[in-house]
Amino acid sequence: MGLMDKAKEAASKASEKASEKMSAFDSDSIIAEAIIKAVEKQEKVNNLLFESNSNYRVDGIELSMGIPPTVTFSVGRVGDIENTKMLDNK
């Protein structure tokens, strides 16, 4: 087997593995589990921040189902969060 044949075979295997990983995220239950875990983490962190008298809270979550999947938390000050909500209600 020549060098080019080995390279093609390796590329094919990598493509198959990527397809398998992406198909794992097609399941609605997996996405729902990721959301539940992210929200649980947000609540735990916010409780810790509250207990330490911090003015900051995790005020948003962004999930990206790519390879690798990512979870991004945004942080805001308590007063800023409340002011934003008040402006949204006007």
Per-residue three-class SS string for 9-31? HHHHHHHHHHHHHHHHCCCHHHH
Q: pLDDT tens-digit profile of 18-35?
A: 666 656 556 788 888 889
Beta bridge partners of 61: 73
Name the residue with tokens 């397809």: 19
Look at 39 and 15; give whichever has higher pLDDT. Answer: 39
Round to whole Å and give the CA distance between 71 and 30.
Answer: 14
Query: In the predicted model, is pLDDT for residue 77 greater than 80?
Result: yes
**Average pLDDT of the chain?**
80
Q: ∠10-18-8 over CA atoms, to 5°?
A: 20
The confidence score (pLDDT) of residue 1 equals 63
The confidence score (pLDDT) of residue 72 equals 94
pTM: 0.59
Look at 82 and 46; give whichever has higher pLDDT. Answer: 46
